[in-house]
Amino acid sequence: DICHLFDKDKKQYHCQPCGICRIGPKEKYFHCTKCNLCLATDLKDNHKCVENVSRQNCPVCMEDIHTSRIEAHVLPCGHLLHNTPLVEPYFFPMTVDYTLCMYVFLCSQIICNDCQAHCTVSFHVLGMKCSSCGSYNTAQDGGLIAAPAVNT
């Protein structure tokens, strides 16, 4: 009645706290008030709450998680990632503790705008440090790659 969507196949429902319609059925989801997100009912008393976790972008694809139609995976630490082929090989079959920084499993090739060096460094969404001169005035020079395996 609120959003005027008429596609019974998707069994959409309006979540008042989220402020948007979700693909259902509604019986399979609940709204966690602390996370401020609708989650699968099997996570009801089985997830770590992170306040307003869905109001951040996916740290891998940088797309909005809250309004996305792509399913999000809840990590044991409580953070969310989109459940896509780009993300899965890096995060879901991991044998190390999920609470470690997620970015240690990704590297990126960069070029430094100060010294013109080409480097492979650990990926970070805010910036990547040139291993030649230490500058953060860098740009990605290729896609993300898996970090070398580390003995744990």
What local confidence, expressed as pLDDT, does residue 71 receive? 77
Phi first, then psi, for residue 41 (nearest 5°) are -60, -25
Each residue of 62-121: pLDDT tens digit?
A: 788 888 877 777 887 888 888 775 555 555 444 434 433 455 578 889 999 999 999 999
Residue pair 36/52 in contact (Cβ under 8 Å)? The answer is: yes
Q: How far apart are CA 60 and CA 103, in angstroms?
A: 9
The angle subtended at Cα 75 by Cα 150 and Cα 10, nearest 5°, is: 135
Higher pLDDT, 92 or 142: 142
Q: What is the dihedral of CA 124, 47, 86, 132, to 10 degrees?
A: 20
Per-residue tokens: 33 = 């008030």
End-to-end CA distance of the chain: 53
Q: What percent of the chain lies above the pLDDT cut of 70? A: 77
Domains and CATH numbers, the chain: 13-90 (no CATH), 102-146 (2.20.28.10)
Whether pLDDT at 36 is above 80:
yes
Phi first, then psi, for residue 145 (nearest 5°) are -130, 155
Q: Which of 56-65, 91-100, 127-136 has the highest mean pLDDT?
A: 127-136
Higher pLDDT, 50 or 152: 50
What local confidence, expressed as pLDDT, does residue 126 receive? 76
Helix (H, G, I), strand (E, B) or coil at 122: strand
